[in-house]
């Protein structure tokens, strides 16, 4: 793997399984998108949101397969920001663990905006 991507590496009987950070980001994105009150993830609907969100998500994988997730979300106006953020954390952690077998060390949800739908 000559690129600069980070991978979860799991040694198996017949070799190794490597899961890229992009796969983890896709898992997180799909899980968090299903949370009620989340309007968008790393995608902006206005210029202000674009400035706040920047890239939207960062996945860090250490050599010991510890996974840290940082995810920017935009929340629907009128919902409890804390409740939505907590639900997004839980959904992301559960999905990553279910699909990779690795429990994330941390899931940091950054509420970068609120929009009226």
Question: How confident is the model at residue 3, as a pLDDT?
Answer: 57
The dihedral sign for the CA sequence 41, 47, 50, 51: negative
For residues 100 and 111, give the distance between their C-alpha atoms in angstroms, rounded to a whole number.
Answer: 26
Give the C-alpha distances (Å, rounded to integers) separating 56 from 14, 51, 65, 108: 36, 11, 22, 12
Burial label for 59, CB within 10 Å (0-12, 13-18, 19+), is buried
Token pair recorded at residue 109: 């949800």
- Range 67-71 average pLDDT: 94
Backbone angles phi, psi at 41, to 5 degrees: -125, 115
Global confidence as pTM: 0.82
CATH number, span 7-115? 3.30.70.1350
Question: How confident is the model at residue 7, as a pLDDT?
Answer: 83
Least confidently predicted of 37-41, 52-56, 71-75, 94-98: 52-56
Least confidently predicted of 39-43, 94-98, 111-115: 39-43
Question: How confident is the model at residue 53, as a pLDDT?
Answer: 42
Residues of the chain with pLDDT > 90: what percent? 53
pLDDT, one tens digit per residue, over 11-29 is 888 998 889 888 998 899 9
Cβ-based neighbour number of residue 16 at 10 Å? 9
Length of the chain equals: 117
pLDDT, one tens digit per residue, over 42-60 is 754 555 444 444 457 888 9
Q: What residues have CB less than 8 Å from 79, skipping those under 6 apart?
A: 36, 37
């Amino acid at each position: 793997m000559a690129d600069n991507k980070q991978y979860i590496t799991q040694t198996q009987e017949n070799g190794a399984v490597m899961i890229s950070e992009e796969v983890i980001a896709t898992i997180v994105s799909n899980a968090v998108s299903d949370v009620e009150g989340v309007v968008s993830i790393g995608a902006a609907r206005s210029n202000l949101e674009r400035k706040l969100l920047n890239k939207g998500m960062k996945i860090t994988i250490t050599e010991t397969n510890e996974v840290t997730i940082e995810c920017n979300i935009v929340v629907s106006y009128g919902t409890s920001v804390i409740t939505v953020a907590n639900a997004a954390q839980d959904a992301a952690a559960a999905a990553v663990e279910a699909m990779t077998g690795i429990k994330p060390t941390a899931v940091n949800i950054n509420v970068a905006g609120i929009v009226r739908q």
